[in-house]
Amino acid sequence: MSVREAALVLADGSVFEGEAIGAEPPAGVASGEVVFNTVLSGYQEVITDPSYAGQMITFTNPHIGNYGVNGTDFEARRPFCRGVVVRDLARRHSSWRAESDLDGLLRRFGIPGIGGVDTRRLTRRIRDHGALPGAFGTASEATLRAAAQQEPGTDGIDLVAQVTTAEPYVVERTRDAERDGARRIVAYDFGIKHTILRHLARAGTVEVVPASTPAADVLAREPDGVFLSNGPGDPAMVSYAVDAVRQLLGHVPVFGICLGHQLLGLALGADTVKLPFGHHGGNHPVQDLRSGRIEITSQNHNFVVDAATLPAGVQATHVNLNDGVCEGLHAPGLRAFGVQHHPEAGPGPHDSRYLFETFRRLIDEQDATR
Amino acid sequence: MPRRDDLESILIIGSGPIVIGQACEFDYSGTQACRVLRQEGYRVVLANSNPATIMTDPDFADRTYVEPLTPDVLAEIVSRERPDAVLPTLGGQTGLNLAMDLYRAGLVGRPGTPELIGANAEAIETAEDRERFKQAMVEIGLAVPPSGIAHSLEGALTVADEIGLPVIVRPAFILGGKGTGLAGTRDELRRIAAAGLAASPIGEILIERSIAGWKEFELEVMRDRADNCVVICSIENVDPMGVHTGDSITVAPAQTLTDVEYQQMRDAAFACIRRVGVETGGSNVQFAVDPRHGEQVIIEMNPRVSRSSALASKATGFPIAKIAAKLAVGYTLDEIPNDITRKTPASFEPTIDYVVTKVPRWAFEKLPGTSGVLGTQMQSVGEAMAIGRTFPESLQKALRSLETGRAGLNADPGEAVYALLNDDELLEAAARPTPERIFHVAEGLRRGIGIEDLCAASRIDAWFLDQIARIVEERAVLEAAVWRDLPRAAWRRAKQLGFSDAQLAHLWGASEDEVRATRLATGVRATFKTVDTCAAEFAAETPYHYSTYEDEDEVRAGGRPRAIILGSGPNRIGQGIEFDYCCVHASFALRAAGYETVMVNCNPETVSTDYDTSDRLYFEPLTHEDVLNVLDAERAASPTDDVQVIVTLGGQTPLKLASGLPVELIAGTPPASIDVAEDREKWNALCARLQIPQPPGGTATSLEQALEITRRVGFPVLVRPSYVLGGRAMQIVDDEGQLKEVMAGLYGLGLVGFGSLGREGGLSAERPVLVDRFLEDAVEVDVDAIRDRTGEVLIGGVMEHVEEAGVHSGDSACAIPPQTLQLWVVEVIQAYTRAIADALDVVGLLNVQYAVQGNQVYVIEANPRASRTVPFVAKATGVPLAKVASRVMVGATLAELRGEGLVPEVTGGQVAVDHVAVKEAVLPFSRFPEVDTTLGPEMRSTGEVMGIDSTFGLAFHKAETAAGTVLPDRGLAFLSLNDGDKPAGLVVATRLRELGLGVAATRGTAAYLARYGLDVDLVVDKLGDGDGPTAVDLIASGEVTFVVNTPQGSGPRSDGSSIRQAANVHRVSAVTTVEAALAAVHGMAERAAQPLRVRSLQEYHGG
Ligand SMILES: Nc1ncnc2c1ncn2[C@@H]1O[C@H](COP(=O)(O)OP(=O)(O)O)[C@@H](O)[C@H]1O
Ligand SMILES: Nc1ncnc2c1ncn2[C@@H]1O[C@H](COP(=O)(O)OP(=O)(O)O)[C@@H](O)[C@H]1O
Ligand SMILES: [Mg+2]
Ligand SMILES: [Mg+2]
pLDDT digits (tens, 9 = 90+) for B224-241: 999 999 999 999 999 999
- Any ligand 1 atom below 6 A from CB of B246: no
pLDDT of residue B752: 33
Look at ligand 2, atom 6, and give the residue with the nearest C-alpha: B806
pLDDT band at B724 (very low <50, low <70, confident <90, very high): low
Reported as a single tens digit per residue, the pLDDT across B415-427 is 999 999 999 999 9
pLDDT of residue B749: 43
Mean pLDDT within A148-167: 91
pLDDT over 80 (residue B338): yes
B569 contacts: CB under 8 Å, gap ≥ 6: B384, B401, B402, B403, B575, B601, B602, B603, B621, B622, B650, B653
**Rounded Cα distance, A245 and A234, in Å:** 16
pLDDT over 90 (residue B681): no
pLDDT of residue A367: 65
pLDDT band at B1001 (very low <50, low <70, confident <90, very high): very high
pLDDT of residue B174: 66
The CA distances from residue B768 to A96, B696, B936, in Å, are: 55, 16, 21
pLDDT of residue B177: 59
User: In this structure, are residues A136 and A108 in contact, taking their beta carbons and an 8 Å threshold?
Assistant: no
pLDDT band at A178 (very low <50, low <70, confident <90, very high): low
* In chain A, % of residues over pLDDT 90: 90
* pTM (two decimals): 0.95
Reported as a single tens digit per residue, the pLDDT across B1013-1035 is 999 999 987 665 666 788 888 88
pLDDT over 70 (residue B1050): no
Atom of ligand 1 nearest to the CA of B177: 22
- Which of B221, B236, B258, B347 should one mutate to test binding to chain A, selecting the residue with the greatest count of A CBs within 10 A? B258
Residue type, B300: E
Closest Cα in chain B, distance from residue A1 (Å): 12
For strands B382-388 and B355-361, give the pairing.
antiparallel
Mean pLDDT within A301-315: 95
Reported as a single tens digit per residue, the pLDDT across B592-625 is 999 999 999 999 999 999 998 999 999 999 999 9
Q: Give the number of whichever ligand sits closest to the CA of residue B697.
A: 2
Chain B CB contacts of A97 under 8 Å are 258, 260-261, 294
pLDDT of residue B756: 41
- Any ligand 2 atom below 6 A from CB of B782: no
- Any ligand 2 atom below 6 A from CB of B655: no
Look at ligand 1, atom 22, and give the residue with the nearest C-alpha: B177
The CA distances from residue B690 to A279, B840, B909, in Å, are: 71, 11, 20
Q: Which residues, listed in sequence order, are joined to residue B470 by a DSSP beta bridge?
A: none
pLDDT of residue B298: 97
pLDDT band at B513 (very low <50, low <70, confident <90, very high): very high
Chain A CB contacts of B261 under 8 Å are 97
pLDDT over 50 (residue B896): yes
Reported as a single tens digit per residue, the pLDDT across B839-880 is 999 999 999 999 999 889 999 999 999 999 999 999 999 999
Chain B CB contacts of A45 under 8 Å are 259
Q: Look at residue B281 and give its three-state secondary structure.
A: strand
pLDDT of residue B1103: 55
**Rounded Cα distance, A260 and A3, in Å:** 42
B894 contacts: CB under 8 Å, gap ≥ 6: B786, B788, B790, B792, B794, B884, B888, B903
Question: Is B390 near chain A, with CB under 8 Å?
Answer: yes
In angstroms, how far apart are the furthest CA atoms of chain A? 67
pLDDT of residue B702: 86
Reported as a single tens digit per residue, the pLDDT across B809-834 is 999 999 999 998 999 999 999 999 99
**Rounded Cα distance, B270 and B222, in Å:** 9
- Side-chain half-sphere exposure of B586, counting CA atoms within 13 A: 36
pLDDT of residue B754: 33
Chain A CB contacts of B253 under 8 Å are 40, 61
pLDDT band at B753 (very low <50, low <70, confident <90, very high): very low
Mean pLDDT within B782-801: 97
Reported as a single tens digit per residue, the pLDDT across B192-216 is 999 889 888 788 898 999 999 999 9
pLDDT of residue B1020: 87
Ranking A4-18, A332-346, B186-200 by mean pLDDT, the lowest is B186-200
Of B124, B146, B121, B150, give the one whose Cα is nearest residue B135.
B146
Active site residue A350: no
Of A314, A335, A315, A329, give the one whose Cα is nearest residue A225.
A335
Of B882, B841, B881, B887, give the one whose Cα is nearest residue B864.
B841
pLDDT over 60 (residue B691): yes
Whether residues B347 and A294 touch (CB distance < 8 A) is answered with: yes
Whether residues A321 and B529 touch (CB distance < 8 A) is answered with: no
pLDDT of residue B175: 57
pLDDT band at B1055 (very low <50, low <70, confident <90, very high): low
- Any ligand 2 atom below 6 A from CB of B852: no
Task: Name the average pLDDT for chain B.
Answer: 92
Mean pLDDT within B587-596: 97
pLDDT over 60 (residue B53): yes
pLDDT over 70 (residue B1053): no
For strands B1040-1045 and B1069-1071, give the pairing.
parallel
Mean pLDDT within A282-290: 95
B533 C-alpha to ligand 3 centroid (Å): 25
Size of the A and B interface in Cβ pairs below 8 Å? 165
Cβ-nearest to A350 among B263, B345, B355: B263
Task: State the CB neighbour count (10 A cutoff) for residue B482.
Answer: 7
Active site residue A81: no
Task: State the CB neighbour count (10 A cutoff) for residue B796.
Answer: 31
* In chain B, % of residues over pLDDT 70: 96
pLDDT band at A316 (very low <50, low <70, confident <90, very high): very high
Mean pLDDT within B692-700: 93
Active site residue A258: yes
Mean pLDDT within B720-731: 73
User: B664-693 burial, b if ≥16 CB within 10 A, otherwise e?
Assistant: ebbbbbbbebbebbbbeeebeebbeeeebe
Of B417, B398, B416, B414, give the one whose Cα is nearest residue B406.
B414
pLDDT over 80 (residue B438): yes
Closest Cα in chain A, distance from residue B322 (Å): 20
Catalytic residue (choose from A151, A207, A327, A344): A344
Task: Name the average pLDDT for chain A.
Answer: 94
pLDDT of residue B720: 85
pLDDT over 80 (residue B392): yes
pLDDT over 50 (residue A83): yes
CA angle at residue B213 from B211 to B214, to 5 degrees? 70
- Any ligand 1 atom below 6 A from CB of B208: yes
Catalytic residue (choose from A199, A284, A341, A342): A342
Helix (H) or strand (E) holding A5: strand A5-10
Mean pLDDT within B312-324: 95
Task: Give backbone dihedrals phi and psi of B871, rounded to 5 degrees, phi first.
Answer: -65, -35
